[in-house]
Amino acid sequence: MRNILGNILTGIGVICFIIFGILDLVITLGIVNKVVGFWGCVVGFTILPATFAVAPWYALIAWGNWFPLLVVYGGGILTAIFWGGGQLIKGEI
């Protein structure tokens, strides 16, 4: 029974990872594109990936928009809780 519940929570964590990962990519690309343009996105994506960690904070500070920060970091925390909880219940951690 523990194994089934652990697998369900781990599966939910993986699904959250995929959904929030795609949302994160789209939102942060939109922020970077709005601020520095297309070539800024290309450079940020290939050379400076830390740009995408800072972009939600920029949206909060410059525009007062909480949504990107909530999706990027809140989604990561939610994913970690589901995945980690599933692994803990299964006894793999």
pTM, two decimals, is: 0.85
The pLDDT of residue 73 is: 93
Model confidence pLDDT, tens digit, residues 39-58:
999 998 898 888 888 999 99
Give the whole-angstrom CA distance, residue 31 versus residue 29.
5
Give the whole-angstrom CA distance, residue 40 versus residue 50.
13
Give ∠ CA 64-69-73 in degrees, rounded to 5: 165
The pLDDT of residue 92 is: 76
Spatial neighbors of 75 by CB under 8 A, at least 6 apart, are 16, 19, 20, 23, 24
Give the whole-angstrom CA distance, residue 65 versus residue 55.
11
Model confidence pLDDT, tens digit, residues 53-87:
899 999 999 999 999 999 999 999 999 999 999 99
